[in-house]
Amino acid sequence: MYISKEFKFDSAHQLVEYNGKCENLHGHTYKLRVTLKGEVDEKSGMIIDFTILKKIVNENIIERLDHTYLNNIVKQPTAENIVRWIWDELYPLFKTDKYQLYELILWETEDSFVCLRDE
């Protein structure tokens, strides 16, 4: 079974290794969907409590990226590189015998997103 939670954060960046409008300093309101894959615990009836999922992502990702200049955190912060950085930060936190990180979707705009999935 899969469980997902969505988050939002605002950040600025510039793509210095890119020749186009996005090489200029600008910002986005990003939306992040975190999906875990796991077995439902017979006692709790859950894969993981949504509040635990929210706490882990907020403390390790959202608080670090919200209202920041992403270039100080991710080299060439394209949506692809940002989602890979998030994956690398979250993967060890969500790798247990009961569940694991399965998929991240990061929207840079309302209709443009990247997806990284463990297959």
Which residue ranges form the domains of the chain, and what is each CATH number? 2-117 (3.30.479.10)
Gap between the Cα atoms of 32 and 5, Å rounded: 8
Confidence of residue 27 (pLDDT cuts 50, 70, 90): very high
Q: Structure pTM?
A: 0.96
Q: Is 80 a catalytic site residue?
A: no
Assess contact for 50 and 104: CB atoms under 8 A. no
- The arithmetic mean of pLDDT across residues 66-93, rounded, is 98
Told to judge if 108 belongs to the known catalytic residues of this protein, a careful annotator would answer yes
List 6, 59, 67, 80, catalytic entry: 67
- Known catalytic membership, residue 22: yes
Q: What mean pLDDT value characterizes the chain? A: 97
Q: Where does the pLDDT of residue 119 fall: very low under 50, low under 70, confident under 90, or very high at 90 and above?
A: confident
